[in-house]
Amino acid sequence: MLKINIGKENIQVSKNLFEKYNSDLFQTTDDNITLDCDSTVFKIIIDFTQGKDISHKINSYSIYSEIKSILHQYKLNSLFLQFVNELPFYMVQLGYKDFKISKALLDYNNGLQFDWVANSSMPTISPSLFTQLYEYLIESDIIQTFDDRNIENRDVLLKYCQLFKFNKLKQQLTEAKVVLNPCDDNLSEIQIKLSSIVENGPTLKHGRNKVTNACTSGCGNENVNSSSSEEETDSQQSPVKRQKRACNVKKSWDIVKYARPYDVDNTPNELVFQLDDNESSLVFNKSSKMIHIDIIGTTLKEFETKFQSVCQRENINLNKFKFKFAKQKNGQELEHLILPACISICDLTVNSIPCRNIGQLINESTQTESIIDFTNMKALSFTHGLVLNLNQSMWKCGVKDGKIMMIAIKANAFTNIKEFNKLTQFI
């Protein structure tokens, strides 16, 4: 037997209990050794080496930390790794508050381990914010999403989810909404910001979206002069004609779908994604009656990153839609992504006024301007038309026969610098 002297206490253990851990301290012929540590904590270590459950004995971060300190002090490195790996939880201290984090809960969030805990490199975060984050982490085990919640500090929480590798919780906290479209056979749609979509997350399932396709059957050869509201067009037609028009769709646009990863969404929903940051505009060609969306900056890069995979599978090369030019004379040349667009089912607001007849707006002589003609993308030129700068907009993406179509759902637009200034808010 080996007698271990810790202060005034003597602990006897089998001599071969620590042999497999290759510590010089226990490689001795002497039957007595003296340690400088807490005897109560060292007894927990002995219980662990004997295969006993010690979970209930580690009820504070100070005990957890002392165990790690003793194992490092006496160079019981392999025992330290075993301790960290086999303990069913992590202990974290923030301020004066201790957190006992279940490893099973972390496994549920993609099975990534907290290297920063094992290496004592806890990122800086306030106890109250981590408490909020951890409460959501616990809830994430029993509910699917937080879509119906008004999440306080959402952006900050998402940042720390990324830092702590709470991958599933990050998707659950991401602002999104899954809705049923009652006008389209209760079709499920997911509304989400483009920036929140995961890379190469959009997918495509070939099928038919009845209402979207009935309303956008002419897209790709859009006549802006006849793009009055769908309500006005339908009201002038008999039910028989409306049904016939809906059934005359030669081939449907396949609408891109999306499901948040880590099983947050059980099935893919039709994707309605939101563009922000004033980095897109609608370009109306008065001569060819064509409509395009012009995307620049960060939004361009994000669209390319998120949609690259689905486009490649459909033999769509986004590079063919990218151009470098200056929008104004003597302006800065920027990279632009120019995609065909459809506004037949769009709730469009221009200069804070609902626009029910875009054709009328374009035909007003005071509104037309010189624009780039994208009719022939191999030989860009200039023509007359109208550019609507988009403050915010929501879109579906349609694919058909190797072609791509951006289908506008909702858009807020402005036409000039004065209207842009109206949207500016005081800091």
364 touches 278 (CB < 8 A): no
Rounded CA separation 370/302 (Å): 29
Q: Dig out the tokens for 168 from the structure.
A: 């599933």
142-145 CB contacts, 8 Å cutoff, 24+ apart: 144/172, 144/264, 145/172, 145/176, 145/178, 145/260, 145/264, 145/265
Buried b or exposed e, range 294-316, using 16+ CB within 10 angstroms: bbbeebbebbbebbeebbeebeb
pLDDT per residue of the chain (427 residues) written in tens, 0 to 9: 778 888 888 888 877 777 777 666 666 667 788 888 999 999 999 999 889 999 999 999 899 989 989 988 888 888 888 888 888 888 888 878 888 888 887 776 654 455 555 555 566 778 888 889 888 888 887 777 888 788 888 899 999 888 888 888 999 999 999 999 888 776 899 999 999 999 989 998 776 555 566 566 556 544 444 333 334 444 445 544 544 444 444 567 899 999 999 889 989 999 999 999 899 999 999 888 899 999 999 999 999 999 999 999 999 999 999 999 887 777 788 999 999 999 989 999 999 999 988 877 777 756 668 888 998 888 888 888 899 999 999 999 999 889 999 999 999 999 888 888 888 888 8
Instruction: List the structure tokens of 276.
Output: 């922000």
User: For the domain 2-87, what is the CATH code?
Assistant: 3.30.710.10
What are the structure tokens assigned to 20, written together? 């497999």
Burial (CB count within 10 angstroms: exposed 0-12, middle 13-18, buried 19+), residue 45:
buried
**Domains of the chain: which residue ranges?**
2-87, 178-423
CA angle 146-143-86, nearest 5°? 115
